[in-house]
Amino acid sequence: MTKKEQERLERQRIKLEEERERIYNMKAYERIYGDRKYICGIDEVGRGPLAGPVVACAVILPPDEEILYINDSKKLSEKKRESLYDEIMEKAVAVGIGMESPAVIDEINILQATYKAMRTAIKNLSVTPDILLNDAVTIPEVEIEQVPIIKGDAKSVSIAAASIVAKVTRDRLMAEYDSIYPGYGFASNKGYGSRQHIDALKALGKTPIHRNSFIGNFIN
């Protein structure tokens, strides 16, 4: 083995050790509540877009499983999110998804719709959690113990896993909507208010997946 190859392997070893240390630190809350059998992370995506549903996810990871490179979904590339999504779905003890439509968002407001999607995600788990680690919120009408963690998707592997699954689930759905409602750029903007999206709203009008309570400034 050449000196350059040895140096390359050493750099790889150091990076791997650093990643394992980062993941260990992201399990701090999971260790704090390690006496509970099922620790569930919860997060949502899609509170801000002009179109599409809000999607929540609940994930229970096995305590002895290591999933490297897991992080807040916003800090990951689309390719990395897709790869981690597959790994999470394969290794998780349970995954639950909940989503609420634009019609529900318009009816009860985005915050209440988000809470409703989170409750659905919890109900859709195949096992009942013993404790919930939430990204910054306390979910009403849930009797399970909750721990709201500010910026939780960057501090807890369970919440980060939920953020990844929620993000990939919603992004895939918006890509499907792009083929149904072309011209708005849903595959690329995911329903957020990009220039293309707003221009299309003004030129083409709204679609059935637009949130009426969000688009008043852009249509007559």
CA distance 114 to 116: 5
Q: Provide the domain count of the chain.
A: 1
Is the residue at 143 inside a domain? yes
Residue 8 pLDDT: 85
Q: List, run by run, the mean pLDDT of 10-residue segments along the chain (220 residues).
A: 83 92 96 97 97 98 92 92 97 98 98 98 98 96 97 95 97 98 97 95 96 88
DSSP letters, 89-120, are: HHH-SEEEEEEE-HHHHHHH-HHHHHHHHHHH
Which range of residues forms the domain containing residue 49? 26-170
Residue 220 pLDDT: 65
Is the residue at 188 inside a domain? no
At position 135, the amino acid (one-letter code) is D
Residue 51 pLDDT: 98
CATH of the domain at 34: 3.30.420.10
CA distance 118 to 45: 11
With b for 16 or more beta-carbon neighbours within 10 A and e for fewer, the 171-208 pattern comes to bebbeebbeebeebbbeebbbbbbeebbebbeeeebbe
Is the residue at 9 inside a domain? no
pTM of the model: 0.94
